[in-house]
Amino acid sequence: MTSKRVAAVTATVGGLLLWGLNAPTAEASSTVCKAARDVQAVCMTIGGEDGHVVNVSISGISYSTKAICDYSASIRTSIPGVMGPYPVWSEVTGPLVCSLGLADINIHIDRTFPTPSYVCGRFFIAGQEQTAEQCIKLTESKWPWPW
């Protein structure tokens, strides 16, 4: 199985174009970006194919010289018509971990989800959520889905 990554941040002559539609659809490989509070954008990328999510990467992107420190992310799934609880994955870096330009957290999922399902993510700096939760709707999945 190959993992695809779709670039969603596109440089333009006038600045930066960010894709940030509500719940874009994907065959498990997609990226969505939104403007954020303390960084310029937060992007979430799902890697996988055919409804199988291999990993989810959430990144804070900054074009300033100020370091991004004490960042964390959480991922949850949502399946319409199925009562939770849904699996939640999270990772915290701590106050001593800093990045310049790109603070990236990659969370390994390795599960197949039914359609329609949503994978939603949040990015935090020092405990403060940087943008509203971002969700990507999965399509083209295979049954059965292991939990």
Ordered by where they begin, the domains of the chain are 9-138 (2.60.40.10)
pLDDT at 52: 84
pLDDT at 85: 61
Q: What is the pTM of this model?
A: 0.72
Judge residue 139's burial from the number of C-beta atoms within 10 Å of its C-beta, 0-12 exposed, 13-18 middle, 19 or more buried.
middle
Dihedrals φ, ψ of 42, to 5°? -120, 130
In order along its 147 residues, the chain shows pLDDT tens digits of 333 332 222 222 222 333 333 455 544 468 899 999 999 999 999 998 777 889 999 999 999 888 999 999 999 888 888 776 677 788 877 778 899 999 999 999 898 888 788 889 999 999 999 998 898 888 754 444 443
What is the torsional sign of CA 27, 45, 105, 22? negative
pLDDT at 124: 93
